[in-house]
Every structure is written in structure tokens, then in C-alpha cells.
Structure 1
Amino acid sequence: MARMIEKLRGNPWAVLATLSLGFFMTLLDLTIVNIAIPGMMTSLHAPLDLVLWTVGAYSLVLAALVVTAARLGDLLGQRTMFAWGIAVFTLASAGCGLAPGPAALIAARIVQGIGAALLTPQTMALIVATFPAARRGTALGVWGSVAGVATLAGPTLGGFLCSALGWRWIFFVNVPVGLLVLVMTFLFVPGLRTGRAHRLDPSGILLSSSALACVAFALMEGQRFGWNPAIWALAAAGLVLGALFLRHQGRRQDSGPLIPFVLFRDRNFAVMTVLIGAVGAAMVGAVLPLGLLLQQGLGLSAVQAGLALAPSPLVSLLVSPFAGRLADRIGGRRVLLAGLLAYVLGLAVIAPLATASAQALTFALPLALMGLGVGCMIAPMSTEAMRNVPPALAGAAAGISNTVRQLGSVFGTAGTTALLASGVSFQLVLLLPIGLLTAAALVVRGG
């Protein structure tokens, strides 16, 4: 056993398995909680508005702290920050499961979000450092398939756990998995440092975290508060703080900035970063109304709706590693374009069928086509974004990419929720992600 462990230490695939499993937990917890909201309300005797913060608090902290966590990885080492993130996330998961009331649960979810933010950017940075360029697409394909499956599988897994064991087990299940990942981290992941930041930037951290928190909160809670003046003021404050942050960063480009502007001189990174945000928004803009249609329109239970959506993550899981390998051989942009077109085609088939008279099986083939699209998008976007990024900037680049992905999801959720709340039909709501991804495909084709 000792010899086998020694042989696997530093092995790229053992490293990838460790990183992907940790990453899987953080993304799963973005969506798995949604299915448990009714049980939480009953068990904790809490109103819906308060319980919804168990979802929002996690997303808000994750969005606000990823850039800072990426720079901490450059300073203290990616493996160290990944391990700390896993430890914090695991302890907070136990705290969520044991929470006696809504306030304690929300506090534990905030700590859980901190753990997720600490580990998330380290995964991409360590993959870039561990795998040579010729095999990086395949590795990011596996990583991307984990991301896609975790995001889409949350409602299904959460439904099974809530039905069989109760809502607290959606958090308790993270504890043994987190402990396993922590052990694997110290056994297999080498102590690499992909960056050389000499010191932190407290002013930059405060400005960036405040700006992201204000914007994310306004987008997440705007619909619930009726887009009142306070929400608009908060959004405006976030934009002002963001402008101050960029000005501050411009003065620190020679002394370890949180966001090195040199990254955006690389057209690949700049374009793919925008696409990552657009795809994140479009995926939420497609899956959210479909999930609501299946439950509210067709009368399916949460578990049944999750199973009806299963063709998409299953196909994505199967396709992503091969798409990454293909991207290494023929170029990521071609595979990405094929993925965007497949996803748009699947949605275009679903949109006119999204009525209350539809059957769940009606969506199986177009959902599989959408899964093919996701499988062909995630790895090439990440590969192309990181293609020319030097190892010293990999942590910062990963932090930017993950922040944009998270904000894209927040934008998608806010826009979709606002449209549905305004009485717009499911068919028309689905036109938004179709248009967004069509525009993205035109950008990729023109690039």
C-alpha cells in the first residue's frame, strides 16, 4: 500500500481525481439545497424568505471571495489553500447539518461559501501546473464534465437524500467525502506554487470583495425586494466600488495586483473569459425554467423532474473527456463552436414544446443534445482561456475565470427569475439563452 501511494504521489491523474472531487462538492452545493427548501421551512419553523438565504449566502460569498482566494494560492501555495478550503468546507457542512435554527444554518452556509471560495480557483491553477499543454485539454475536459454534472445533478441527488434520510443529509454527506479529499490532497497533490505574489493587497481585497458582494446581492435579491431604490443604490455602489478597484489595480500592476491586466492583452483569455460568463448565464437561463416547467407545468415531483433532466448531465459526463482530447488535437475553438451550436439546437427544439401539455419524455433527445453541447463547451473554453497564460499568472487567471462564471450564473438567475415573475411564458424565456449562445457562436466563428 505504501509503495502504491508513493507511486501515485504527484501522478497527474491522481491529482486530477483529488481536485475534481473537491470541486464537485462545491458546485453540488450550489443547487442541491434548492430541493430541500420545503423540508427546511417545516423543520426549522422558518419563512421562505429566510430559508432562501441558505441558497443566497453561499453563492454571494463564493462570488465575492474567489479572486482574493486565487491570489492567496499564489502567495501561500495552491495545495495549501486547497486543503484549507476542503477543511473549512467540510467543517461548515457538519455545522449546516447540525444547525438548530435558520440563523445558525445561514451562518454555517456563509462559512461553507468561504471554504468553497478558497479551494475553487486552486483546482484550475493546479491542473495547468500539473499537466503539459498537450494533455491539458483532456484534463480540463474531465474537470469540466465534473462541473457540468455537479451543477445539474444537485436536484436529483438532493431529492433522493431528502426523501430517504431528511434534508440535513444533503450537508452530512459532504463530511466523509471532504475527509477523503483532504487525505488524498496530502497523499497525491504536490506542493506546487504557480505564482510569485510577495504580499497581499488589503485595499484591493476590500474593494473587490465589497464590489462583488454589492452587485451579486442586488442581482440575487432584486426581484424579491421589487427592485426598490435601495437595491438600485446597492447595485450602483457596487459599480462605483468596482471602478475604484480597477483604478487601484492600475496603480499596482508592478507590485502583485489581484488582477494582472497583462492577462487581457491575450485575446484568447479576454474572449474566453467573456464567453465563460455568457455560457454560465445561458445554462442557468435554460435549466431554471425547464425545471420549473417540469414541476409546476407538468406536475412532476422534484425527484422526477431531476430524473427527466438527467440526459443532459449524463451525456455531458460521457462527452467532456473526449471533447478535451479532441480540442488538444484539432483546436479548442472548433470543438467549442460545435458545442455552442449543439446546445442552441437542443434549446431551439425544446422552446416550442415547453407547454403544460408536453410529456417529460418529449424533452429527452433535445436534452441529450444540450448535454453534448455542454460537454463540448466547458473544456475548450478553459483550455483556450489558459493556453497562453504563464504559470506565474495561472492562479490569478483561474480566479478571474471562476468569478466571471459565478457572476454569469447570478446574472442568469436574476434575469430568468425576473422574466418568469413578470408572467413571460417559458417559450419566450428560453429565447434569451438561445440568443446569448448564438451571439457567442458568432464570436467564436469570427475569432
Structure 2
Amino acid sequence: MTESRASEGDLRRRLEGRVELIESALRRYRLLAEQLESRRWRRKVRAAPSLLREVGELEGALTEALAQTERRCDLEGATHDAPIRKTVRRVRKLRAQVATLVDKRMYELLLLSESLPLETALAKLEAACLQEVSLERTPGEPFSLRIGFVGGVVQYLLSMLLVLGGFLGWVLFFALDAWLGLGAALAITVSSMGLLMFLTATLLGREAPDVAWLTPERLVWMASGGAPPVAVRLDSLGEDAIRMEAELDTVTVRGDKYLRLSRLGRGEAARLRVLLELFRAPQVRANASRAERPVTLVTYPAQLRRNKAWTPGQLVLSHRGAYFIPGSGADAGATLLRTATGRRLDSRVEMPWVLEALRWHPESELDALLARAIAQSGGVAWASVDVRVSPDVEEEQDVHLSRGTEVLVGKPASEDRGTVLQLLHGWGGGA
């Protein structure tokens, strides 16, 4: 027994610290494997950021240490069950497991399918995970847009659960008071209500959607459950970087990071895709970064009477005048999107979503863009000085505008009516 221990000690001395390096690696690789296996692995990596770096620093020396240790064990005739050989095998197995997990997480974050050397992959994963994402706007980000909301049905059900729980709590308290006395009734009721509040909070956390925060320069994704935010530079988005999945409430974005934004709701997912397609275009980003304030715009369905025929379409009002694009809100929105980006989308494109981005343009640029869309679609553009506004516009639900023999009639949404009247009075054309 003593001879065996001495033989192992001699082996350790001859390997000059390599066995100690392997044992140190065993502990660190095990911890890293546990981190990367977790469902909330990014949060755990950020909580212990040094581990990725430590394993990466070990990698270069570990390859040589494992090879030299196995060679020395062979030369010294160490048995298969010798402790040092067992440690080497455990490290090799853990190392392979970590390499597989790193490849998996790299694919999740960067959609990187190629297998890199582990040391390189660890460095890339560290840079991607530990990048600090600021929610403060930079000088090149004059505005930000928020996409994502808790669905009304979920909020309603949770509210009803709390109300019902409160009522049942009172019933439970009075029933137990008559049976067990005041103290026991109060304790049981408070405990039950606490459990109900915990379950409600848990349900809200599970049902809450992911939230996207968009500026002209980047998309920031804040996943439900408190995961660290991830940012994607919009100038890194290529031709087919933005897709909607079959469920229609999930958007995938492939740029310098890979994001899968889910549970946004169908409308919000389609809106996000439109905004991303617009800000992916370099000219749209450049115009947005130059805008000091948004252009005041209102859009609503309207009809154009021209040559004794009525044409349905979408009307846009601004300080400069009226712009009519034929087609439904989605068709007119698609026309304006195509004019701005050259892209056709296979998902819904509503005019308000397109204008939500384009209103952050210098007014002259926006005017030129609307004029091009009208020229392509056969609509009309009327300068504010040429438009006659119905004198009864304050009292009527519909807004009547005319220029010569042409007439535009439409009914803005009630929440937009004040802005419409403000714009029309600013024209001074008979309102």
C-alpha cells in the first residue's frame, strides 16, 4: 500500500505540476458544465463571469498536460484504475461535454453552426454573454420604440383570480373563525392568501411576453423571467435576417447576435418585423439619426373621388399637406414600405407601423418618400395651400377635403381627431 502511494507521488513529481493542473481543470469544467446545462444559463454565466475566462485560460496548457500525463503513465506502467488515469479520463469526458454545450449555446446566441476550437469558442461566448447592454439612448438614437405587452385576456384572468381569491379569503376567515377561533382563522387565511399571491405572480411571470426595445441603431431584447438583455446592431442585419415563424407571433433576427423573439402576439410580431425591415435600410437609419423631432402625422382610411369615381385608400395628413395612397391600410402600408426599402413582405404591413418609423425623418425627406409612393400607386398629393377644408369640419364625423373637382372623404379615429383638426387649422385653407 505504501509502495503504491509512493509510486503515485513520484509520478506527480515527475509530471511537474501537470496533475495538479488537471485536477484544477476538473473542478472548473464541472462547474462550467453545470452553468451551461441550466435553463437560465446566461444569468448563471453573468453571475460568475470569471469561470468562462478561467476555463479558456486552462485550455492551452491542459491539452499538453493531458498528453504528457498519459504518456508518463504509460511509461511508468500505471494501471488502468490508477487515480491519475481516472482523473485524466474524467477531465476528457467533461471537456467533451463542455465543448458540446458551448457549441449549443453559441448556436443559440450567434447561430454559429461551425465547431470552433474550444479556447476560441469560450472567448466568443464570453464576449457575447458578458456584453453590457445599456438601456440609455446614445446621441445617435433620438428615440426608442417598445414592442410587447401582456395580453388583455391574461391580465383579465389574473385580475379575476385576485378578486375571487379575496372574496374566498373572507369567506374562509369567517368560517374558520366560527370553528377554530380568531387566531387560527387569521393565520390560515393569511397563509392561504399569501400562497394565492405567489401563484398569481408565478402565472404572470410565465405568461408575460418578451419585450423588444428598438432604436435606429439597435434592437434590445428583454426576455420574460428576468434573463439578461441582448442587443443586436441593426447595421449587422443582412438581406434575409428577419423572419416570422409559422406561429406568426415569433420573430427571428440574425445579425451580430441571433434572437428568437416569442410570445409578442401576432400584431406586435408583425409590427416589429416592419420596423426592423425599415431600420435595416441604411438610408432610413441615416435619416432617423438626423431627425431632431418626429413629424406630426395622422393616417386613416379615406376615399378619393376623381373623374366621378370613388377609390378607397389610406390618407396621410402632415403640416405640408394630404397624401392619398390607394388600397387598404395593409396594401398602402406595403406600398410605402416597398418605396422606402425595396422590400416586399409576406406578412401584414399596416400603414401606421410604417409611419411610426418614417415620421423620424426630416420632413423634406418624408415628403419626397410619400411623393414617390404616390407616383408608383396612382394616388394624389395635395399641398396644404391648395386644399379646401369643409367649413363644418368641427361638427362632422367625416373630414371632407377638396382640390378643384377632386374630393377626399374619411373618418379619423376618435383619438386622432384632435391632431387632425390641429393640422387642418395650421393649413389655413378654409378650416
| Same fold at TM > 0.5 | no
Name which structure has the greater RCO, CA cutoff 8 Å, separation 6+: 1
TM tier, smaller: under 0.3
Larger Rg: 2
Higher helix share: 1
Greater per-residue strand proportion: 2
- Normalising by structure 2, we get a TM-score of 0.21
